[in-house]
Structure 1
Amino acid sequence: MTIQKMLELNCQLGESPVWDAGRSAICWVDISGQAIHEFNTVSGAQHTVLLGQPVGCIALCDNGDFLAALKDEVVRIDRLTGTMQSVVTGPERRLLTNRSNDGKCDARGRFWFGTKSFTDETGAGNLYCVADGICSLQIPRVTISNGIAWSLDNRTMYYIDTPTFKVVAYDYDLDTGSISNKRTVIEIAEEEGFPDGMTIDTEGMLWIAHWGGFQVARWNPSTGAKLSAIRLPVANVTSCVFGGATYEDLYITTARDDMRLDKDSIDNDEGCLFVARHCGFKGLPANRFNVKNTEN
């Protein structure tokens, strides 16, 4: 399978890719670079919104705006001007050692996002849900709240707390947004790399980005088996999403390696956005945030 670098744009910490079918655009964030990037795959136009603070993840709103989890709050962002409108105040506003991390919307337009400490302190993070103008705690005391996805029938929520090397599943009530019956469905060997962001395909298989693992791997949540992998030329693979006209292209975000002492030696591909075109599998359209969920 051919892996293609999309454009010469190296993020410090690329994350949270979202495909916008209406614009034929792939959108993603640079958490440390404090930016949202958008690339039109038809015209080749690239647009960046600078935010002035870390942005953990984005989603698309049903009115066309971005929804973003920032350091202190969740906001709607005008994609052209960058103008922000607060949705909810961040529940960890006074916790200066934490920031937001990965997140997504469910099929009813609720926004789920997690947090972590800047130093990856054990148990310092949490997972929240934004609905009806309220930000509610759902899973407390995680370390690096990361990938999230829902089964095709929306009856199961899959979730990753990165240092556990596990994917857990919860029974999911789509009507209420409640979760229950936690269990482990995938256990990942350390040599595979840390599980980071993930997405799901039309066969119900999970695609997981492996930080430090040079790969995006396809996993079966029913058996826990690793089915296949796409190898990347860089180690720190952060997330992935299906896109393109038929949702058969897999877009993959990556990050630079900050541990290197010689910053001039950074690989030119680190932090870039990649795509595996016609990867042999298909994904689903992104769930969008229901702007009515800003009202309580």
Structure 2
Amino acid sequence: MPEVKNYKVTEPYLDLKCGLGEAPFWEKDRNTLRFVDIVKKKLHFVDLAKGPSSHKQWDLDFSIGTTADIEGNDKEFIFGGKNGYGIMNRETGESRQIVPMWNDEERKEDGGGKPGVGATREVRMRSNDGAVDKEGRYWVGAMNDPSVCKITDEGILFRLNPDLTLTRAKEQISIPNGTSWTLDNKFMYFTDSPSGQITKYPYDISTGKADWSAGKPFFTCPFEGGVPDGHAQDEEGFFWVAIFGAGRVVRVNLQGEIVAEIELPTRCITCPGFCGTKLYITSAEEEDPEKYEWSKKFGGAVFEVDVGVRGAPLNKFKMGKKA
């Protein structure tokens, strides 16, 4: 087994009390950190040159689970929202939906959900994590919205193509999370968190298709009560994986072995994101505060740690058609 490097973070970078902080994203040209709060429907920005005092937030009318930049468009970014893909103006916060995820049949009542709510599939679902591949396709996973119904395997992994056609790439998913590709783009990594593992699939970058029948376990969470959540890839191709429920981010090598571990002062860690050599790590409020009282204080905070390695470049969505 390889030697494990240890980091310990005791204080937050931003103590925001997010309901579900997610999707830390580096706007490199602006040196700005962008991230979301899915539960409280907020979008957050921090000018990293100025630090935490520069934090600003936008209140939204809907939840956003994931965001990405658009190639050739510095004024707007693309997102996976409550009901589909949309575009938002960075300066004004104006947004528009460009591709809905759900069809007319899925907007009809089907007897699902809790009594009085969640009567249609569209209402029951929301976007969660996502990532853009080297050819500019934006993959976004949708899952049951816990505020509306219990989580089942009704989730879908969508792929938005540059021509704005939408592909339902993988179905029967519970909680879609960390998605990325090997540096040579021959394999795709995907996390369905309740499985406790990240799975590696052969990937055809020319077509944007993964061979779902040939998936092999890449990383299995070894921490009791923890599951892999979002992850970030570094320039060496290693992964920094949030372990939700175990208060950790771990660095995993290409053999799926843990080679570094970041200990954090709250349990429900959701996603790391690189800004230079620093990781910014989001979290959620503590789900079981009576049992895990130690985790309550900084639940929903954002943490910062310099890990001495840069992140792999983030791909941008290639908008091949006006939206």
2:320 is aligned with 1:285: no
SS of the counterpart of 1:163? helix
Q: Which residue of 2 aligns with 1:118?
A: 145
2:122 is aligned with 1:106: no
The one-letter code of the counterpart of 2:289 is: R
2:164 is aligned with 1:136: no
Q: Cα offset for 1:66?
A: 2.0
Report the TM-score when normalising by structure 1.
Answer: 0.91
Q: Which residue of 2 aligns with 1:58?
A: 67
SS of the counterpart of 1:208? strand
How many residue pairs match? The answer is 289
Which of 229, 242, 258 does residue 261 from structure 2 map onto?
A: 229
Distance 1:127 1:91 in 2: 13
Deviation per residue, 1:105-148 (Å, 9 max, x gap): 11221110101112453311110100111121111101101111
Which of 89, 93, 99 does residue 88 from structure 1 map onto?
A: 99
The one-letter code of the counterpart of 2:70 is: C
Q: Which residue of 1 aligns with 2:207?
A: 176
The one-letter code of the counterpart of 2:256 is: G
The one-letter code of the counterpart of 2:155 is: G
The one-letter code of the counterpart of 1:202 is: E
Q: Which residue of 2 aligns with 1:31?
A: 38
On the 8 A contact 1:197/1:239 being kept in 2, the answer is: yes
Distance 2:233 2:265 in 1: 23
Give the direction of change, closer, same or farther, for the CA distance of 1:266–1:189 in structure 2 (3 Å limit): closer
Q: Cα offset for 1:18?
A: 0.7
Give the direction of change, closer, same or farther, for the CA distance of 1:48–1:173 in structure 2 (3 Å limit): same
Q: Which residue of 1 aligns with 2:113?
A: none
Kindly name which structure, 1 or 2, has the bigger radius of gyration based on alpha carbons: 2
Q: Cα offset for 1:251?
A: 1.0
On the 8 A contact 2:266/2:294 being kept in 1, the answer is: no
Q: RMSD in angstroms over aligned alpha carbons?
A: 2.1
SS of the counterpart of 1:48? strand
The one-letter code of the counterpart of 2:296 is: D
Deviation per residue, 1:50-69 (Å, 9 max, x gap): 22112111112221212111
Q: Which residue of 1 aligns with 2:272?
A: 240
Q: Cα offset for 1:161?
A: 0.1
Q: Which residue of 2 aligns with 1:43?
A: 50
SS of the counterpart of 1:176? coil
Q: Which residue of 2 aligns with 1:15?
A: 22
Give the direction of change, closer, same or farther, for the CA distance of 1:202–1:11 in structure 2 (3 Å limit): same
On the 8 A contact 1:207/1:219 being kept in 2, the answer is: yes
Distance 1:158 1:265 in 2: 33
On the 8 A contact 1:21/1:285 being kept in 2, the answer is: no
SS of the counterpart of 2:320? helix
Structure 1 residue ranges, 4+ long, deviating more than 6 angstroms after superposition: none
Distance 1:157 1:294 in 2: 28
Bigger CA drift: 164-173 or 186-195?
Answer: 186-195
The one-letter code of the counterpart of 1:98 is: M
Percent same amino acid at aligned positions? 30
Distance 2:236 2:124 in 1: 39
Report the TM-score when normalising by structure 2.
Answer: 0.83
On the 8 A contact 1:91/1:135 being kept in 2, the answer is: no
In structure 2, runs of 5+ residues without a counterpart are 1-6, 108-120
Q: Cα offset for 1:98?
A: 1.4
The one-letter code of the counterpart of 1:70 is: G
Give the direction of change, closer, same or farther, for the CA distance of 1:50–1:291 in structure 2 (3 Å limit): farther
